[in-house]
């Protein structure tokens, strides 16, 4: 039974048009035609029964109702063949003709005709469009006003026999059919509204989800761009710093290079009486000088390269290498650098990144100490030697690196700003871009999962404390 009903529904009601608006109108038209056919079948049965029981009944002729029923069938066939708009207009005309006939023949206050007027107005909206609702309402109202005036003045003869007759079952059924058709229209409107609201809610949910997804993607992309920009700026800053230190680096290269040249010259210009031991001594000193240059150049190359190499490394050796690179800068500032380590400390990560941390902290300490000495000289105050200390130790499962200086210190109002990008107290002197400490903090937290803290006081120096977790067993195995 369900299969039969399903096939019947698919044959008579299911829309066949492709566009969404056309399918909606076709579905509404087919449902209304089926209701109309069902209703007029009932009306015709009642009209036939009335003719049998009341031969002199003066209602709408049965030939008319049978013709209307047959025409509804033709309209359904047109709709199934794709002539939806044509069938809609003919349906409106089919209901309009009996309405106008009833108003003219039996009065402008005939209940059934008034119900038909309501039906036509609602049909206009659901089958054709909102503009026809307004147009049909205006036409019907003007027609009723003019007709009522003409009938009240006796200009048009009206047969009002129905006022004297009893309200019978056939009248009730006819009204019920009209109510049923109007109710079907209201149901279609409600159904369409619910569908539209459902689509709107689904679209809103989809848009909200898409918006949230887009916000996440934008945030992720912004963060990626920010990190890439920070990485690029950090790389440029590192190169700029090495550019500033280049004079010292070249100075430290000149000394061993001179030693190599002198010792080789001694071998070349040596007298014939020079012994083998003297030649070996000259070569030994030349080789020592070349090894010193090799170590210095290797350290410089490592610090300016971009490749990331996460591995186990010895923090002691990396710190010594940075001290060697910045040795000339420290000598110029007349600031000795002392490094102490109770034991060898092994860390996991990129040694180049670790070298950046020590380079930034040590370079800042040298500059702060140099500034303090210069301020004392300007005030005519005798200055004692100010040292920089780098202490490497273990504290539980963490390595601790303390970089202490006796420099100018940091003002209390700036102590919370020094790790912000582009903040610097040295911009006026042209020695700072405000990127050193911010990049140092970023490397410590992102690359080594560590922390950095600072204590400082004006004219009392500063102390930077870096803590980095020791390698896990998995990292040691790798």
Give the residue among 51, 169, 42, 160 at the shortest CA–CA distance from 110: 160
Q: Which range, 146-150, 225-229, 305-309, 429-433, has the best average confidence (pLDDT)?
A: 146-150
- Residue 394's pLDDT band, with cuts at 50, 70 and 90, is very high
Report the share of the chain in percent with pLDDT over 90: 12
State the virtual CA torsion across 99, 100, 106, 110 in degrees, nearest 10. 40
Lowest model confidence (mean pLDDT) among 81-95, 185-199, 446-460: 185-199
* Tens of pLDDT, residues 20-68: 667 777 777 887 788 778 877 877 787 777 777 766 665 567 777 788 8
Section 384-402 average pLDDT:
90
Domain spans in the chain, listed from the N-terminal domain onward = 2-211, 245-305, 311-478
Q: What is the C-alpha to C-alpha distance for residues 118 and 130, in angstroms, rounded to an integer? A: 15
Section 298-326 average pLDDT:
76
> Does an H or E element contain 467, and which?
strand 461-469
The three-point CA angle 438-444-449 to 5° equals 135
CB atoms inside a 10 Å sphere around CB 7: 10
Section 345-359 average pLDDT:
87
Burial class (CB in 10 A: 0-12, 13-18, 19+), 276: exposed
φ/ψ of 341, rounded to 5, equals -150, 125
The residue among 401 and 328 whose pLDDT is bigger is 401
Structure letter (DSSP) for residue 391? E
Q: From residue 184, how far is each of 159, 266, 408, 429 by CA, in Å?
A: 32, 117, 89, 86
CB atoms inside a 10 Å sphere around CB 440: 23
Q: Report pLDDT for 209.
A: 87
The class (CATH top level) of 311-478 is alpha beta
- Residue 282's pLDDT band, with cuts at 50, 70 and 90, is low
- Residue 469's pLDDT band, with cuts at 50, 70 and 90, is very high
Section 295-308 average pLDDT:
61
Rounded mean pLDDT of the chain? 78
CATH 3.40.1580, applies to 245-305: no
* Tens of pLDDT, residues 360-388: 898 889 888 888 888 877 777 777 778 89
3-state class (DSSP) for residue 399: strand
Lowest model confidence (mean pLDDT) among 42-56, 277-291, 322-336: 277-291
Check: CB of residue 80 under 8 Å from CB of residue 215: no
Q: Report pLDDT for 272.
A: 46
Kindly state the tokens that stand for 129. Answer: 């469009």
Structure letter (DSSP) for residue 199? H
pTM over 0.85: no
Rounded (10°) angle between helices 436-447 and 169-244:
120
Q: Report pLDDT for 107.
A: 86
* Tens of pLDDT, residues 109-140: 888 888 888 888 888 887 887 788 889 889 99
Report the share of the chain in percent with pLDDT over 70: 73
Q: Report pLDDT for 463.
A: 93
Q: Report pLDDT for 133.
A: 85
The three-point CA angle 432-384-375 to 5° equals 40
- How much of the chain is helix, strand and coil, in % rounded to 5? 70, 10, 25
| Ramachandran area for residue 396 (φ above 0: left; ψ -120 to 50: alpha; else beta) | left
Section 192-219 average pLDDT:
84
- The domains spanning 245-305 and 311-478 adopt the same CATH topology: no
* Tens of pLDDT, residues 134-160: 898 899 999 999 998 888 888 888 887
Strands 388-395 and 346-349: unpaired
Q: Which range, 202-216, 247-261, 264-278, 280-294, has the best average confidence (pLDDT)?
A: 202-216
Residues with Cβ < 8 Å from 179, sequence gap 6 or more? 115
For 398-411, b/e burial (b = at least 16 CB within 10 A) is ebbbbbbbbbbbbe
């Amino acid at each position: 039974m369900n299969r039969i009903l399903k096939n019947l529904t698919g044959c008579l009601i299911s829309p066949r048009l492709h566009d969404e608006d056309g399918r909606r109108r076709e579905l509404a038209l087919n449902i209304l035609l089926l209701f109309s056919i069902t209703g007029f079948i009932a009306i015709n049965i009642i009209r036939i029964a009335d003719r049998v029981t009341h031969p002199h009944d003066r209602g709408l002729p049965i030939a008319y109702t049978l013709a209307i029923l047959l025409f509804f069938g033709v309209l359904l066939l047109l709709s199934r063949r794709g002539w939806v708009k044509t069938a809609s207009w003919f349906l409106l005309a089919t209901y309009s003709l009996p309405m106008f006939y009833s108003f003219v023949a039996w009065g402008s206050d005939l209940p059934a005709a008034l119900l038909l007027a309501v039906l036509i107005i609602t049909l206009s909206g659901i089958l054709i469009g909102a503009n026809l609702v307004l147009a049909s309402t205006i036409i019907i109202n003007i027609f009723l006003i003019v007709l009522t005036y003409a009938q009240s003045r006796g200009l048009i003869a009206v047969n009002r026999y129905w006022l004297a007759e009893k309200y019978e079952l056939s009248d009730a059924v006819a009204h019920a059919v009209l109510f049923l058709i109007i109710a079907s229209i209201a149901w279609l409107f409600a159904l369409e509204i619910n569908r539209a609201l459902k689509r709107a809610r689904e679209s809103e949910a989809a848009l909200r989800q898409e918006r949230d997804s887009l916000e996440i993607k934008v945030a992720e992309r912004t963060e990626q761009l920010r990190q890439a920009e920070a990485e690029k700026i950090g790389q440029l800053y590192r190169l700029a710093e090495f550019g500033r230190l280049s004079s010292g680096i070249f100075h430290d290269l000149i000394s061993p290079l001179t030693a190599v040249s002198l010792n080789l010259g001694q071998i070349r210009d040596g007298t014939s009486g020079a012994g083998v031991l003297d030649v070996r001594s000259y070569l030994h000193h030349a080789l020592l000088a070349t090894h010193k240059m090799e170590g210095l150049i290797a350290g410089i190359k490592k610090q300016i390269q971009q490749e990331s190499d996460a591995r186990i490394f010895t923090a002691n050796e990396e710190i010594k290498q940075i001290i060697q690179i910045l040795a000339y800068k420290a000598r110029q500032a007349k600031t000795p650098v002392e490094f102490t380590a109770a034991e060898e400390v092994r860390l996991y990560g990129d040694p180049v990144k670790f070298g950046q941390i020590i380079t930034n902290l040590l370079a800042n300490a040298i500059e702060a100490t140099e500034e303090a000495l210069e301020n004392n000289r300007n005030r005519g105050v005798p200055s004692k030697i100010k040292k920089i200390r780098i202490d490497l130790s273990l504290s539980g499962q963490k390595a601790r690196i303390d970089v202490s200086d006796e420099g100018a210190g940091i003002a209390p109002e700036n102590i919370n700003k020094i790790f912000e990008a582009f903040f610097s107290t040295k911009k006026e002197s042209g020695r700072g871009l405000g990127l050193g400490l911010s990049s140092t903090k970023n490397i410590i937290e992102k690359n080594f999962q560590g922390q950095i803290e600072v204590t400082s006081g004006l004219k009392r120096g500063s102390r930077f404390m870096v803590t980095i977790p020791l390698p896990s067993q998995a990292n040691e195995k790798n």
